[in-house]
Chains A and B, each alone.
Chain A
Amino acid sequence: MKCALAALMMFCLPFGVMAQTTGGMATGDLGLVIERASGSLVVIDRSDRAAIGRIEGLGDLSHASLTYGPDERFAYVFGRDGGLSKVDILERKVVARTIQAGNSIGGAISDDGRLIAVSNYEPGGIKVFDADTLELVADIPAAGKTVGLVDVPGRRFAWAVWNTGEVFLGDFSGAKPVVRMIGNAGANPFDAVLTDDAHTFLVGLFGEKGVTAFDLWSDAPEPQKFLTDYGKTGEDMPVYKMPHLQSWAFTEGQYALPAVGRHEVLWVDRETQAQVASTPVHGQPVFIIAQPASPFVWVNFATPLNDVVQVIDSRSHQVVATLNPGKAILHMEFAPRGAEVWISSRDDNQVLIYDTRTRMKLAEVPAAAPSGIFFTARAHQTGL
């Protein structure tokens, strides 16, 4: 009876009062920027092009990333120090936190939003947590540092192991996890990515030339290596920063891939996995990200050539714009429908907002040594 009364009272409450308890704000146009040196996040409002808050106390956020729960209110932040933090964007605070390993590299959320998986370096392996409570659900050790962890539909995750080249697919939909090795990608996978249709898991190799594809629509995926001889002519350069494959560009029926150790973007036909072109660029690519709903991809570069962003047309494979947004450009995040791109300049302590049509700067948002930028729309993208 009491219960029914409470329910009735809730129902009768004016919406305004209910909204107030959650800050009176929607989150669809919000985002978070990682301040890598200070262990904090800046809450950003895409519509206002402004910083609207800060969340502190997240530990070591060098090489941090995050993912969003389906309600776009809670973010799960993966810190370098093994910290997994759940933050409430509306209340702007850390609501749960666990140091789940000594050293970690990133994570993913299951398609149903119930499980958080974290990829660890020390000790190697992945750990899976309940998204509500951050209680440990599964601990899957590995024989080395795990990289390229992605969510796969059906409450599954896939990942690779840097030291051994093994690739695993774990199914967490049942009472007990079912984890199987689906093949060996090759020497030293440095990162991996799932295509937007969840069809192909692409594993980039550092220890040898090439990318290895696994068909996750198949019941028995086989490793298929391609790009094994890119840049045959000419000496490879030292790699001062590992490229990132998350947000790898898939456009015009092609993959746009970073040539490890070279100032090149490689274009590969999605169907045949044959290289169709290469684009000479300003430096060694770090992120190659497709501008949504357009033929363009945007590229940033490894130190010491990291003050430049270039735009390439995926039809002609030509660089069509070279921008100098600021010092030490670490990341780019597009508005979900592509109208603008937010670019972090670590050494200028700014996030720069560019119009993607005019490629002119629209605004600047201050942030301390910003790295990753994450809009809440990521909540609804597979593989992030």
Chain B
Amino acid sequence: MPSAFLLMLVLSCAPAMADVPPERAVALKHMVTQDCGSCHGLTLKGGLGRPLTAEALAHAEPDGLATIILDGIPGTAMPPWRPLLTDDEALWIAQYLLKAKDPTQ
């Protein structure tokens, strides 16, 4: 009983990991490379849009990034992806960008 309680406590303290089925994750990775890559570069080192490498995003929070992905940045070329992505998927992409040394590999 105490161990289950401890587990719950640990889970609730851990950062929320986005829940995305494996096949969707493959599609999202493809989307990051190809569609985000249209503006941010296939290697995410930048283009019309700023670089999205883990290094460039070092100070970003996953939730903040997910919000930018979902709502875009008004007045810039960054579009809102909400019509194409769920909240969980946007958070998954944010976490993926932050943790991947080279997300395109």
Which of A's residues lie within 8 Å of B, judged by CB?
36-37, 60-63, 80-81, 103, 105, 121-122, 145, 162, 188, 190, 206, 238-242, 303-304, 328, 346-347, 369
Contacts and interface: CB of A to CB of B under 8 A. Distances in A.
Contacts of B77: 188, 190, 206, 239, 242
Given A122-B46, A238-B80, A240-B84, 6 more contacts: A80-B41, A80-B42, A162-B48, A190-B77, A242-B48, A303-B34
Given A37-B33, A62-B37, A240 B79 contact: yes
A299 to B, nearest CB: 18
A382 B4 CA distance: 73
B56 to A, nearest CB: 12
A159 to B, nearest CB: 15
A60 B83 contact: no
Give the interface size class of chain B: 20 to 34
User: For the complex, would chain B's binding face be called helix, strand, loop or mixed by DSSP majority?
Assistant: loop
Contacts of B34: 303, 328, 346-347, 369
A238 B46 contact: no
Contacts of A369: 34
Interface of B: 30, 33-35, 37-39, 41-43, 45-48, 72, 77, 79-81, 83-84
B45 A103 contact: yes
Contacts of B80: 238
A62 B39 CA distance: 9
B48 A121 contact: yes
A192 to B, nearest CB: 14
A270 B35 CA distance: 33
Contacts of A328: 34
A36 B37 CA distance: 11
Contacts of A62: 37-38, 41-43, 47
Given A62-B42, A62-B47, A238-B83, A303 B35 contact: yes
Contact of A60 (B30, B43, B72): B43
25 contacts: A60-B42, A62-B37, A62-B38, A62-B42, A63-B41, A80-B45, A81-B45, A103-B41, A103-B46, A105-B47, A121-B46, A121-B47, A145-B48, A162-B48, A190-B48, A238-B81, A239-B79, A240-B38, A240-B81, A241-B35, A241-B38, A303-B34, A303-B35, A304-B84, A369-B34
